[in-house]
């Protein structure tokens, strides 16, 4: 992996960690007479922050890299409800690819390596998105895209709380052939998600507040 990619993604992780530490430190600052009350309040704030939904987003150059990332995420304890993959259906778009709809639906995309990924891919479905074309969506995002008021990939991401400008940019990336991974999880697992996406070749990793 190029050093510049590692540096960029490490900056994302370092920035997130620094911000989280700063928030934790500020919540602990209190006067001595209120120490007990402040400690309880700080604990409650920490619990709320740790369970607040976050979306860690990354882009892969092809679907096979995304599959490896899914496998790694699953082995690190992320559930199929937290992992979402969106990719252009190159088979139906008339582009050359070794993957087929059947290979996604029956979980044979990477043969014996499929392992814990199968549960996610078995839930994958093909969708026709205006302006993008046929796509393959796996994970809860598939239903969100289908029912998005704004329509399409961008509409689904906006419904999840991702800013509209970013959502449009992600949709354009998928339209251009990139595979989008969206890890919708809790704040306490964000750093781990970033590390896995980085180690499996994702680029442009960003974290957003989610609904």
Domain ranges of the chain: 53-209
In this structure, how many other beta carbons lie within 10 angstroms of the beta carbon of residue 51? 10
- Using pLDDT thresholds of 50, 70 and 90, give the confidence band for residue 47: low
In this structure, how many other beta carbons lie within 10 angstroms of the beta carbon of residue 147? 11
According to DSSP, residue 142 is labeled H
Task: Return the higher-pLDDT residue of 58 and 90.
Answer: 58
Residue 30 has pLDDT above 50, yes or no: no
Mean pLDDT across 197-208:
97
| Per-residue pLDDT tens digits for 112-166 | 333 335 456 545 556 666 666 678 888 898 888 887 766 789 999 999 999 999 9
Contact predicate 84/141, CB 8 Å: yes
pLDDT of residue 131: 61
Pairing of the two strands 203-209 and 179-186? unpaired
Range 171-175 contact pairs with CB under 8 angstroms and sequence separation of 24 or more: 171/131, 171/132, 173/59, 173/204, 174/86, 174/87, 174/88, 174/132, 174/135, 175/88, 175/131, 175/132, 175/133
| Highest-confidence segment of 17-31, 34-48, 63-77, 94-108 | 63-77
Sheet with 125-129: strands ordered across: 125-129, 133-138, 83-88, 179-186, 53-60, 203-209
pLDDT of residue 28: 46
User: How far is 114 from 104, CA to CA, in rounded Å?
Assistant: 11
Task: Return the higher-pLDDT residue of 93 and 172.
Answer: 172
- Using pLDDT thresholds of 50, 70 and 90, give the confidence band for residue 38: low
User: How far is 52 from 177, CA to CA, in rounded Å?
Assistant: 31
């Amino acid at each position: 992996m190029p050093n510049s990619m590692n540096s960029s993604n490490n900056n994302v992780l370092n920035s997130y960690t620094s911000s989280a530490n700063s928030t934790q430190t500020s919540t602990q600052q209190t006067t001595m007479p209120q120490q007990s009350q402040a400690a309880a309040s700080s604990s409650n704030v920490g619990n709320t922050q740790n369970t607040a939904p976050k979306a860690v987003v990354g882009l892969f150059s092809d679907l096979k890299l995304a599959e490896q990332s899914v496998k790694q995420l699953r082995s690190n304890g992320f559930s199929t409800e937290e992992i979402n993959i969106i990719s252009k259906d190159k088979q139906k778009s008339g582009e050359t690819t070794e993957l087929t709809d059947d290979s996604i639906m029956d979980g044979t995309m990477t043969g014996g390596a499929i392992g814990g990924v199968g549960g996610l891919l078995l839930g994958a479905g093909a969708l026709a998105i205006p302006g993008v074309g046929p796509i393959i969506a796996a994970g809860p995002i598939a239903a969100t895209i289908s029912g998005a008021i704004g329509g399409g990939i961008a509409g689904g991401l906006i419904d999840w709380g991702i800013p509209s400008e970013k959502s449009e940019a992600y949709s354009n990336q998928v339209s251009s052939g990139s595979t989008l991974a969206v890890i919708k999880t809790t704040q306490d697992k964000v750093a781990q998600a970033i590390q896995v996406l980085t180690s499996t070749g994702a680029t442009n990793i960003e974290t957003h507040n989610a609904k």
